[in-house]
Structure 1
Amino acid sequence: MTAEHALDDPPLAPVRRTANKVPEVTAYFWIIKVLTTGMGETASDLLARTLGPIPAVALGGLALAAALAVQFTLRRYAAWSYWTAVVMVSVFGTMAADVLHVGLGVSYAVSTPAFLAVLAVLFVLWYASERTLSIHTVRTRRRETFYWAVVRATFALGTAAGDLTATVGFGYLGSVVLFAAGICVPALAHRFGPLDAVTAFWTAYVVTRPLGASLADWVALGHTRGGLGLGLAPVTLAWTAAIIGCVGYLVVSQRGRRVLAATGKPQ
């Protein structure tokens, strides 16, 4: 599923060339996105068990801040920087949802709609400010700030939603099937129905989080919890290796870049 040019800002006479700060949406994008969601889920749990919840959250927060700082200093999309930031958002987003549930006792039935409300507010503010939610035009500091705020909210929401379905009867494997079917809905609605590309993209983006997290949990967790029992550390390392391999391919092949025409002022 890819976002279409027709839904970007109206074309204006090009004055300069500027690079987008996020990758083109291709099959590689969705594969790495699912890998990062699963790796973030198991890595977060592994860090919390190894270091303790508070040190793990502190380390995750510092790593996220460092990754985003690097991402914001770059003038164009770079695969290694972008996907490092996504991985850190995934790890910290999992921690944020888990802290609410484990540390503060907030149920997933409460945190899931709460994170959904936060995401909705961010979308409203982004659109009110920029008049677009298209990822094809993330080339100003303000749009990039909105973009990463939304990404962080989607990861926290997806973590809570995946854990919610896993604990209300679906289990981890059932959640994988549920969200795998769910991600087909915006794809088909966009391809054969009235759903616009931007809405379809963000809907699928949200659903990939619980899909990847549920898949990783099912593979890593023990049989008593309905999983295959391969372990948090092996799954984290395996998915990290897969991410490094995919991103390395993108760096070498230069796939995922997009250079856009722009006017001298933000659209």
Structure 2
Amino acid sequence: MSTEHVLDDRRDAHRSDDRARIRLAANKVPEVTVYFWIIKVLTTGMGETASDFLAHLLGPVPAVGLGGLALVASLAVQFAVRRYVAWIYWTAIVMVSVFGTMAADVLHVGLGVPYTLSTPAFMVALAAVFALWYASERTLSIHSIHTRRREAFYWAAVLATFALGTAAGDLTATMGLGYLGSVVLFGAAICVPAVAHRTGALGAVTAFWTAYVITRPLGASIADWMALPHARGGLALGLGPVTLSWTVAILGFVGYLAVSRADVQPR
């Protein structure tokens, strides 16, 4: 074999190694399965009640500080690993859920910003994240999160969706629908992108992010309905018990995925 052929073979091998590394790095987010949506709704509800529970237990300022530190720590671990790890990823999602709820609540309760203003403000923030992400990477697909920059855009979008969903859910609940009415509203709303995608009227990426946003007010409305007192239209099960029960459910599903690897994206 000539020297030129040897060099060509080496270059091909390096290209294969580079492609393999890219495929490995892309496994930083889970495959979208039924388990993904179940856990996503559970984390949104658990984040809603956990945030309120911590605020009542510790006070708003310590709760926000603790939530912020936990969020930074969980994201640091998520960025440090080189592939998708179920418990690391979903821990970060839970912390985003808790802190996203706190961010929306601080604007409303602490600063007096009405939900009619915070909801469109978070909507603009999410649109800005998507615009910058697409301008930089020319894609919003979660199947192409194989660089640090794309991962940063992904988590910025996730945080914005949680804050937006919290404000939107509280907005509908306080506008006369109540929490159960909000559950029905957002339960119907989440079917729209699913049906539109099935019929070919909506692309996969748009359908995913639309449904992703809606899961936040859906899960939060369910959890609030279960936890809050009868006077506020809830079942009065309590913030602590609802937080604990939803946490146990999350641990069960994430534990299953960690063992079965059913949500690992194919390489």
Fold in common (TM above 0.5): yes
Are 2:88 and 1:85 aligned? no
Shift of 1:254: 1.1
**CA offsets 1:232-263 (integer angstroms, 9 cap, x no match):** 00000000000000000000101111144xxx
Deviates more, 1:15-24 or 1:32-41: 15-24
Alignment-derived partner of residue 215 in structure 2? 208
Shift of 1:194: 1.7
Give the one of 63, 68, 73 matched to 2:70: 63
Once the two structures are aligned, what percentage of the paired residues are identical?
75
Shift of 1:139: 1.3
Give the one of 14, 25, 50 matched to 2:57: 50
Alignment-derived partner of residue 10 in structure 1? none
With CA pairs under 8 Å and 6+ residues apart, which has the higher RCO, 1 or 2? 1
Query: Which one has a larger percent helix, Structure 1 or Structure 2?
Result: 2
Distance in 2 of aligned mates of 1:24 and 1:124: 24
Give the count of matched residue pairs.
248
Distance in 1 of aligned mates of 2:147 and 2:266: 14
Alignment-derived partner of residue 8 in structure 1? none
Are 2:19 and 1:16 aligned? yes
Amino acid at match of 1:189: A
Amino acid at match of 1:149: A
Please provide the CA RMSD for this pair: 0.9
Deviates more, 1:63-72 or 1:184-193: 184-193
Amino acid at match of 2:120: P
Deviates more, 1:186-195 or 1:165-174: 186-195
Amino acid at match of 2:30: P
Shift of 1:193: 3.4
**CA offsets 1:151-183 (integer angstroms, 9 cap, x no match):** 000000000000000000110000000000000
Amino acid at match of 1:148: W
Larger Cα Rg: Structure 1 or Structure 2?
2
Alignment-derived partner of residue 183 in structure 1? 190
Alignment-derived partner of residue 228 in structure 1? 235
Amino acid at match of 1:185: V
Structure 1 gaps, min length 5:
1-12, 261-267
Give the one of 169, 180, 190 matched to 1:173: 180
Are 2:111 and 1:108 aligned? no
Alignment-derived partner of residue 242 in structure 1? 249
Distance in 2 of aligned mates of 1:228 and 1:43: 17
State the SS of the aligned residue for 2:29.
coil
Alignment-derived partner of residue 148 in structure 2? 141
Amino acid at match of 2:112: G
Superposition pairs for residues 243-262 of structure 1, below 5 Å?
243-260=250-267
What TM-score does the superposition give when structure 2 sets the normalisation length? 0.92
State the SS of the aligned residue for 1:169.
helix
Give the one of 204, 214, 230 matched to 1:197: 204
Amino acid at match of 2:173: A
State the SS of the aligned residue for 1:213.
helix
**CA offsets 1:77-101 (integer angstroms, 9 cap, x no match):** 0000000000000000000000000
Amino acid at match of 2:131: V
Shift of 1:16: 2.0
Are 2:164 and 1:157 aligned? yes
State the SS of the aligned residue for 1:66.
helix
The 4+ residue runs of structure 1 with deviation greater than 4 A are: none
Amino acid at match of 2:80: T
Distance in 1 of aligned mates of 2:200 and 2:169: 27
Distance in 1 of aligned mates of 2:233 and 2:98: 23
Alignment-derived partner of residue 26 in structure 1? 33
